[in-house]
Amino acid sequence: MNSVQGRKMSDTSIKAGNPELTKKRDKPKNLQLLVTLSGKQTMTYGLIGALVFFGLWEVAHLLTAEEAKRFLPSPLSVVQALITLFQEKDYMADVGISAYRIFGSFFIACVIAVPLGILMGCFAPIRALINPVISGARYLPAASFIPLLLVWFGPTDSQKMALLVLGVVFFLIALILDNTEAVAKELIEAAQTMGASRREIVINVVGRAASPAIMDSMRNMIAVAYTYLVIAEIVAAQDGIGAVMMRAGRFLKVDVIMAGILTIGIMGVLTDIVFRVAAHYAFPWNRKRKG
Amino acid sequence: MKLKREISEINIIGVNEVTKTYLGGTFTAVDNVSLNIKEGEIVAFVGPSGCGKTTVMRMVAGLETPTTGGIQVSGHNVQGPGPDRGMIFQAYTSFPWLTARQNVEYGMKILGVSAAERRERAQKLLEEVHLIAAADKYPAELSGGMKQRVAIARTLAQKPEVLLMDEPFGALDAQVRWEMQEMMVEIMDVEKKTVIMVTHDIQEAIYMADRIVFYTRTPGRIKEDVYMDFKKGHRFTSKEDLLSQPGYLEIEKQMFAWMREEIQLQAA
């Protein structure tokens, strides 16, 4: 018994002291499973990623033949084009109208989807009534409504916003339905046994419990709304970022097109940050615990 | 320490020939169960998994409706859930968006209790369940046992006549479960509720209950209905006291024998 134990111990000490083995174990340190990064490390990695992207872009621009360079302008000339747009072309007005279309239509979509999704999640008959239509509608490409919307609304803001609403509202309802159904049944039953009214449970139990997930769904769907923005502003539009890009395309001003893409990207990132920060302060009880 | 249990002769809960079937009558979960529970009694429902013990309790809570038969609590037919029958679930049901204290106050708010009284009663109950230090934390910051204590305090705050506990400590680790069982015995000495507790922990049932109703495997019928006479009218604040009580081992052996019978019946 003792000798067995003794042998075991000496075995491990040999292994632990073997520098070859130690080295081997240390190697994949940076890519281990379940390892989290500090905020600073995450920022550093993100910055490196962005620099590599712009670096590759610059290299690609430099390698492009001189006569084709205008089709792949350098990152800096895109930024230059963006500044010129703001300074000389009243671009702020276009950005403003695009932002108005996005946020206005997304607000309308939320006003429809949040109550409807929650009610569908809470009440089986409402779900059974509406779900078939919603599920089908999700598979219709929103762009296919453009001719119809043009006939109904003409080339107006309403037409563009209707397209954006159509593009996101069905997905948003489906997501919020899921978020609502994911609320633990025991929370509802506990409220029932406490004598809470149906209205109280729908609003203050299910609604409250699902709200962080609903906020997340909204954050994800507004990204989709951005993708429809350009589609909406390409057809029969005089203003907005999409219209600016379309006009630039007619004159092969690739730097301006890219400046438009960059604008939408920046707006998207800012929107995402706003949603995250709002969720952080709106749901202090849902913050991920540190450590 | 021994606590005197106080049980009146009045039946507060009456389950009368209750049957519950599912799947359009093809599956019988509870088959013709009748039982009366006296005010102040702590009754444990014990039996193999899937024996319908939880279903009977959920029907008392009003969360499910008997297919045939009826249930009376305090002389009224059970029509649906209500605050006279407080329920504690195995899953954590403290509302994550409310602090422990707000959770305890929530049930009273529903009942329209004044803010001053809510605060006072919440404070007292949080002390009773040893949660004062964590009173202003959110459930996400609490351990499983603490979350369950929030649920207990929240339920007691509504002053229910009957306390229904569905495997209340089932999700907790052994040590915490043991602490909670002892705490619950002490709370019952203060709050004096009629309790139905569903459990498949035999020792938990013997320790906490004055009476054990043992269910048969599907369909659920009452196999045995035994009073814990060996406790001689007491409840114990520590498990050691229970274990050193003459007659304890016999009843535990008996329970295991019944459990084995039911499991083997199923296997056969």
**pLDDT tier at B218 (50, 70, 90 boundaries)?**
confident
Q: What is the predicted pLDDT for the residue at B26? A: 86
Question: Is A196 within 8 Å of chain B by CB?
Answer: yes
pLDDT of the residue at A3: 47
Tell me, what's the pLDDT at A39?
A: 86
**Do B109 and B117 contact (CB within 8 A), yes or no?**
no
Nearest to B92 by CA among A284, A179, A209, A124: A209
Among the partner residues A187, A189, A289, nearest to B95 by beta-carbon distance: A187
Rounded distance, CA A218 to CA A169, Å?
10
Subunit contact B138:A284, Cβ cutoff 8 A = yes
Greater confidence, A17 or A269? Answer: A269
Provide, rounded to the nearest whole percent, the portion of chain A with pLDDT above 90.
71
Query: Which of the two residues, B268 and A131, has the higher pLDDT score?
Result: A131
pLDDT in tens, B77-99: 999 999 999 999 999 999 999 99
Q: Give the one of B82, B93, B97 whose C-beta lies nearest to A186's C-beta.
A: B93
pLDDT on residue A16: 54
A68 neighbors A254 (Cβ within 8 angstroms): no
Are A194 and B93 in contact (CB < 8 Å)? no
Q: What's B25-86 look like in SS3?
A: HCEEEEEEEEEEEECCCEEEEECCCCCCHHHHHHHHHCCCCCCEEEEEECCEECCCCCCCEE
| DSSP class per residue in A28-50 | GGGG-TT----HHHHHHHHHHHH
A291 touches chain B (CB under 8 A): no
Instruction: Say what the pLDDT of residue A291 is.
Output: 35
How many residue contacts between A and B have a Cβ separation below 8 Å? 70
Tokens representing residue B95 in the block = 């509302």
B171–A contact, CB cutoff 8 A = no
The question of ipTM being above 0.90 is answered as: yes
Check CB contact of B63 with chain A, cutoff 8 Å: yes
What amino acid occupies position A210?
A
* Cβ contact B91–A196 (<8 Å): no
> What six digits make up the tokens of B108?
């009273």
Distances in Å between the Cα of B66 and the Cα atoms of A189, B20, B77 are 17, 5, 12
Q: Is residue A2's pLDDT more than 90?
A: no
> For residue range A159-200, what is the model confidence (pLDDT) as tens digits?
999 999 999 999 999 999 999 999 999 999 999 999 999 999
The band of A25, judged by pLDDT with boundaries at 50, 70 and 90, is low
Asked whether the predicted pLDDT for residue B214 surpasses 90, the reply is yes
**Mutate: best of B65, B87, B98, B113, partner A, most A CBs <10 A:** B87
Predicted local confidence at residue A140, as pLDDT? 86
Asked if B95 and A209 come within 8 Å (Cβ–Cβ), the reply is: yes
CB nearest A189 (choices: B63, B83, B158): B63
pLDDT for A202 beyond 50: yes
